[in-house]
């Protein structure tokens, strides 16, 4: 299961399949991470820098974090995509198509000048999380989405 947790400032990625429950996140930042609470990650409860530190100690790679750089990432279900927006301008998208019980992610793109800011991963996670909530099997053909799912 993949989940994306967001504030205005940061985005946190969580892949439950990789989590070894070593609890470094919980001990490092107990306000933001608490097993049994729903949601178990609440980014509003601590400073981004402390959350970043706790995530950097995750031994499994189940958690990831990026700063948002003022870029919003939204799901556009009507358009079968997620979209990245900065100052009202679209700077990236991730496209998918539902085929029966499968969700085919076939294209991810971020304008080159905005590369290296974690935007593509946020776009893909947004689509993956929504597909999992719709109980779809993920069937990416986009090489970047495949990489995100494998990492």
Residues at the site binding ligand SF4, with contacts judged by CB under 6 A: 19-25, 58-60, 62-63
H helix runs in the chain, sequence order:
24-28, 48-56, 119-133, 143-150
CB of 6 to ligand SF4, least distance (A): 17
How crowded is the C-beta side of 28, counted as CA atoms within 13 Å? 18
CB of 32 to ligand SF4, least distance (A): 11
In sign, the C-alpha dihedral spanning 28, 29, 30, 35 is negative
CB of 41 to ligand SF4, least distance (A): 9
Is-contact 123 110, C-beta < 8 A? yes
Q: Which is nearer to ligand SF4, 53 or 80 (CB)?
A: 53
Q: Which is nearer to ligand SF4, 63 or 103 (CB)?
A: 63
Q: Which is nearer to ligand SF4, 15 or 68 (CB)?
A: 15
């Amino acid at each position: 299961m993949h989940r994306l947790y967001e504030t205005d400032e940061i985005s946190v990625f969580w892949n439950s399949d990789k989590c070894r429950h070593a609890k470094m996140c919980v001990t490092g930042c107990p306000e933001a991470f608490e097993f049994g609470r729903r949601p178990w990650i609440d980014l509003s409860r601590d400073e981004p820098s402390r959350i970043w530190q706790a995530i950097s100690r995750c031994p499994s790679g189940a958690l990831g974090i990026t700063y948002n750089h003022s870029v919003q990432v939204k799901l556009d279900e009507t358009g079968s995509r997620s979209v990245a927006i900065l100052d009202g301008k679209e700077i990236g998208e991730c496209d998918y198509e539902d085929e029966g019980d499968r969700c085919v992610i076939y294209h991810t793109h971020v304008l080159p000048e905005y590369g290296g800011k974690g935007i593509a991963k946020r776009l893909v996670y947004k689509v993956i999380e929504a597909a999992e909530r719709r109980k779809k099997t993920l069937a990416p053909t986009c090489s970047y989405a495949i990489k995100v799912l494998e990492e």
